[in-house]
Every structure is written in C-alpha cells, then in structure tokens.
Amino acid sequence: MSGATAVGAPAPGDAGAQPELRPIEVEDISVRFGAVRALADVSFSVAPGTIHAVIGPNGAGKSTMFNVLSGIYKASSGQVRYGDAMLTSMEPHRIANLGIARAFQNIALSGTQTVTENLLLGRHHLTKAGFLSSGLRLPRATREARRHTERVREIATFLDLGDKLDTPVGVLSYGDQKRVEVARALCIEPQVLLLDEPVAGMNADETQRMAEIVLEIRDALGITIVLVEHDMGMVMGIADRVTVLDFGRRIADGTPVEVQADPEVIRAYLGAGDDSGDDAAADSEPPFPSDEERTS
Ligand SMILES: Nc1ncnc2c1ncn2[C@@H]1O[C@H](COP(=O)(O)OP(=O)(O)OP(=O)(O)O)[C@@H](O)[C@H]1O
Ligand SMILES: [Mg+2]
C-alpha cells in the first residue's frame, strides 16, 4: 500500500475502541415518494468487517437506501437491524451514536477551518471533560485534548493529510477534501462507515488511492463499510459483496465476479431494457472495466 501510515484501533478508553461484530440486516425495505416507488422490498445483509457495495444505474434507489440506513428517510415498510438495534425506528443522531458514521457525497466541512479543527469536531461526542473544565484547562481536560489531537493526527496521516493539518479545508484540492470528509467520519471511531460515492469527481489517481484507503480502513480498523458508488471499476476491485439495484428492486446480490456475470445486471447497465430474450446485451462490450483498464 503506497504511502499510508498504519492506523490502529483507538486507544483504550475511547468510545468505540473495539469494533463490534454486528451484521446489518436490510429486510424488505420499501420507500415511496408519492407515486414513485424508490425502493421495493429490498433485502440484503452486510457481514461485519466487510466492504459491501450498493450499485445500480441512475435512479435505481442507491441514495434512498443510503438515507434509510442513516435514518434520514423513513421506510414505508420493512426494517433494518444492526445486531439487536432496529435502525428503522431510530433518529439519525441515535444511529450515529451507535457508531454508524456517514461521509457525505457533497462535502460537508467548514472551509475556513483547518483540517485539524474540522476533524476535532468529529471527536466532540467522545469528549468526556466538560466545557467548564476544558475552558479552565484542568489537567484532565488538557490530557484529553492532547489525546484527541494525537488521534486526529494519526487518522489524518492515514489519509495522506498529515502535512495539511493546519491548512484551511477550503483551499485543499477536491480529492483532499473528499479524504478529509472520510477522515472526519473515522474520527468518531465508527463501527460502520457509510460512504456515499467517495470517488465521485475524482481523477484516476485519486480514485485509485481512495480504493486503497477503503481497503485499509477495513483491514486495519476492522470496521464494516457500506459503499454506494457509481464507479464500477472501484467497486468491483474492492467490494467483498455487491447488491445491485435497478428501478428500486434488487436484481442481484453476490460477489463482484458473480454480479458482473449476471445477465440482468449487464442488461440494466447497458440500458437494453427489453426482455426479448435475445442476447444483444450479453454480446456487447461488458459494462465493467477489466483489471487492466481499472489500474491504468
Ligand atoms: N426526495 C425525493 N422525492 C421524490 N422522489 C425521490 C426523492 N428521492 C429520490 N426520489 C426518486 O426515487 C428514485 C430513486 O432515487 P435515488 O436518488 O435513490 O436513486 P440513485 O440510485 O441514488 O440515483 P443516482 O445514481 O442518479 O444518484 C428516483 O426515481 C428518484 O427520482
Ligand atoms: Mg444517488
């Protein structure tokens, strides 16, 4: 892995120190927006410690699913369980408090604040010393502040941002800002990381690097990653399992190799949109890049 500094589990005493091995079970989720059925009885399971991608053509329901997982949208029917916790009946902040962190597709950072300041905001809920003792600079608060700053530095370095800690986020390149967004989510020491199109708008090098980082997040931190992504090359290269949506329905679920070979997936991506049974779609250029294309 190029250039990354190892990032271990957080220090003992930090909330969420050890990722818990809880699966996410999505069961028969439907979401309606008026007449539009954005999701129709979608089920899949996310095994702990894996990278699970949710893919599909435009309008397939990916973002809607993401918003159900993070509690922003309420499902019309069905449920999502995280171990014993019923996510579908929880408000977004309670889901976040369970250690399910979300990195936003559209960067939600303060541009005038430095990388360190933005990342420290991500640790606010882990701060035990109250505002009063922090304000008075009591020893415990000072120690705690130092510990958080060290952890922020560790996480930033892991995301190739170690030399940008004092830079205002607003002047960073787009790729750097996307990595700050992921770092901010990691700063809450999550058990589960929800990534919404983490490489959207990135160039090939930045995409490659983000793919490596996502793999390292899984391997070094042992956390579960749910990835909604358009970039098929990235998804097929790193996902352990892929759920494919099309028009709100689950049309495939399996390993990258399995779903790439699935005729219905190929048809959905090529937009053939007919059930005539002829194999025009299958004979065409596959919609998924080869390994060579992916790495070039
Ligand atoms: N807030 C909303 N109000 C009304 N309709 C919505 C809303 N959000 C999504 N939809 C509709 O639900 C369907 C699924 O949309 P969604 O955004 O989940 O798709 P997507 O897979 O994320 O697409 P894209 O790849 O374009 O981001 C679409 O038909 C969309 O127009
Ligand atoms: Mg979307």
Q: What is the pLDDT of residues 19-54, one digit of tens each?
A: 678 999 999 999 999 999 999 999 999 999 999 999
Q: Is residue 82 part of a domain?
A: yes
Mutate to test the pocket of ligand 1, among 33, 105, 249, 251 (most ligand atoms within 8 A of CB): 33
Look at the chain and report how many structural domains it folds into: 1
Residues 6+ apart with CB under 8 A from 210: 175, 178, 179, 182, 198, 199, 202, 234
Measured from the alpha carbon of residue 67, the closest ligand is 1
Give me the pLDDT at residue 223, please. Answer: 93
Using the mean position of ligand 2's atoms as its centre, give its distance from the Cα of residue 130 in Å.
39
Contact 164 CB / ligand 1 (< 6 Å): no
Q: Is residue 71 part of a domain?
A: yes
Using the mean position of ligand 2's atoms as its centre, give its distance from the Cα of residue 61 in Å.
7
User: Domain containing 228 — which CATH number?
Assistant: 3.40.50.300
Contact 58 CB / ligand 1 (< 6 Å): yes
Alpha-carbon distances of 287 from 23, 121, 227, 290, rounded to whole Å: 30, 41, 19, 9
Q: Report pLDDT digits (tens) over 181-234.
A: 999 999 989 999 999 888 888 889 989 999 999 999 999 999 999 999 877 778
Q: Is residue 108 part of a domain?
A: no
Residue 281 clears pLDDT 60, i.e. is over it: no
Tokens coding 136: 């008075």
CA distance 7 to 240: 21
- Confidence class for position 8, pLDDT limits 50, 70, 90: low
Q: Is residue 119 part of a domain?
A: no
Q: Among residues 195, 164, 189, which one has the least CA distance to residue 177?
A: 164
**Which residue CA neighbors atom 18 of ligand 1 most closely?**
61
Give me the pLDDT at residue 287, please. Answer: 62
Q: Is residue 195 part of a domain?
A: yes
Range of the domain at 262: 21-99+190-293
Please tell me the pTM assigned to this model: 0.84
Using the mean position of ligand 2's atoms as its centre, give its distance from the Cα of residue 226 in Å.
14
Q: What percentage of residues in the chain have a pLDDT greater than 90?
A: 59
CA distance 180 to 161: 8
Mean pLDDT over each residue of the chain, to the nearest integer: 84
Using the mean position of ligand 1's atoms as its centre, give its distance from the Cα of residue 57 in Å.
11
Measured from the alpha carbon of residue 105, the closest ligand is 2
Contact 228 CB / ligand 1 (< 6 Å): no
Q: Report pLDDT digits (tens) over 118-160.
A: 999 878 766 665 555 566 666 777 787 888 899 999 999 999 9
Q: Is residue 285 part of a domain?
A: yes
Using the mean position of ligand 2's atoms as its centre, give its distance from the Cα of residue 60 in Å.
8
Q: Is residue 107 part of a domain?
A: no
Q: Is residue 243 part of a domain?
A: yes
| Cα dihedral value 10, 16, 21, 22, nearest 10 | -150
